Amino acid sequence: MFLCPSTVFSADKPAEVASNQTLEQTLKSKGLTKVGNCFLLESDLNLPEWLRDARGSEYRLAAKIKDRVKAESAFDRAKETVIKWYLYDLELNTKLIAAGKAHSSAQPDIMAEIADIERRLVESTIELPRMEKELEQFGDPSADYIEVLEKLSSTAEGLATHYAELSKDDEVTGAIKRLNSTAGKLKLGPSPQFTLELRNIRKMCESIASCTIPLNSSLGVPQAEVVVNGKFKIPMIVDSGAAMVTLTPEAAKLLGLNPGANDKVVHLVSADGKVTDAHVMTLKTLTLGRFTVRDVQCAVQPSNIKGADCLLGGTFLKHFVYRMNLASNELRLSQVGGKLDAQPPAAGPIKVVPRDGKAPPSVK
């Protein structure tokens, strides 16, 4: 009695199916799921979802930037208008004095104009702070985008690394090889979409410049060593609450900054509520890590202030999305679009300035 080919096939098929199921179970234990002719990781399967989040964040960034630019333009126009009103008010008062001396009949009209202008100036003392507060609420529109993109990049690079590790796993490669002996052209991921999107994600990340700066918290406050004007390395307390970079009088003298009567004066409020008048001056460059910001406004503390510290404040930090991790003593700076110098400017030997802002003997 002879067995027909179909009878032989039917007898062998259950064993073959069981073997294939065992092999697929092995791959599943490695986190792989069969999709078409590929075995993919779960993050690869969720690719459309997290790409949608990233692109949504990119769209929101563009919208926020547009809204912020619009608000900034409105605020600048409002300030210019107020300046014009002040100047016109001075002009009208001059005219009023002249009209009074000449006993001119134009006096009432001039006085009415002055009253109108001064009413507008009073209104501006309410409106301008409101507009400024509204502008501050925009914050840095790139912050959310950077956070989403960094998370996306971390996930994508981690997925690529995981696939690379699986491609060297004997259990995985052996299971796929045995499956291919009966099931056709099966392969390990990534999916073609992930391969394409990984290139796009890396390109998107190129628009973000980041660096991590070590902090020194040995004195109880986070300090970073900042290179000022390409010549002096000065320790500064990283103070997100300070509106400006602030220099001690000793550090300012070392940098050749000599405040004068014509320099703008700002009021600095310390943590204990004490108010100090400081002069506003400009630093040519301020370098931290891989970033250099040019023409940075700073407040120079008066010479009678003793035992103060230099502060790394808003006139520098506003250019970045920054995160301070006190647990690891690190400051991470990120910036979108390459607006700043990505490398410190060329300079001669850098002189290290101690915490008190005074030059060491070898520098004098």
Structure tokens at 137: 């609420």
Q: Which residue has the tokens 């998107």?
A: 204
pLDDT in the model for residue 261: 80
Q: Side chain identity at 118, as an amino acid letter? A: E
Contacts 24+ apart (CB under 8 A), 42-47: 43/155, 43/158, 43/159, 43/162, 44/159, 44/189, 44/190, 44/191, 44/194, 47/191, 47/193, 47/194, 47/197
Three-class secondary structure of residue 33 per DSSP: strand
Please say whether the beta carbons of 247 and 299 come within 8 A: yes
- The DSSP secondary structure of 139-166, one letter per residue, reads --THHHHHHHHHHHHHHHHHHHHHHHHH
pLDDT in the model for residue 5: 43
In the chain, residues under CATH classification 1.10.287 are 12-206
pLDDT in the model for residue 364: 35
- For the domain made up of 12-206, the CATH class stated in words is mainly alpha
Model confidence, pTM: 0.51
Please say whether the beta carbons of 32 and 172 come within 8 A: yes
Cα 142 to Cα 107, 147, 148, 152, 169, distances in angstroms = 55, 9, 10, 15, 40
Which portions of the chain are predicted below pLDDT 50? 1-11, 360-364
In the chain, residues under CATH classification 2.40.70.10 are 212-352
pLDDT in the model for residue 191: 92
Please say whether the beta carbons of 314 and 325 come within 8 A: no
Separation of CA 307 from chain center: 32
Report H helices in the chain: 5-29, 42-45, 47-101, 107-138, 142-166, 170-183, 192-205, 249-254, 314-317
Q: Please state which CATH number belongs to domain 212-352.
A: 2.40.70.10
CA-to-CA distance for 245 and 310, rounded, in angstroms?
8
Buried b (16+ CB within 10 A) or exposed e, 207-230: ebbbeebebeeeeeebbbbbbbbb
CA-to-CA distance for 235 and 245, rounded, in angstroms?
12
pLDDT in the model for residue 127: 87
Burial of 243 (0-12, 13-18, 19+ CB in 10 A): middle
β partners of residue 286:
228, 293
Please say whether the beta carbons of 355 and 309 come within 8 A: yes
Q: Which residue has the tokens 């039917």?
A: 10
β 275-288/291-300 pair status: antiparallel
Q: Side chain identity at 140, as an amino acid letter? A: D
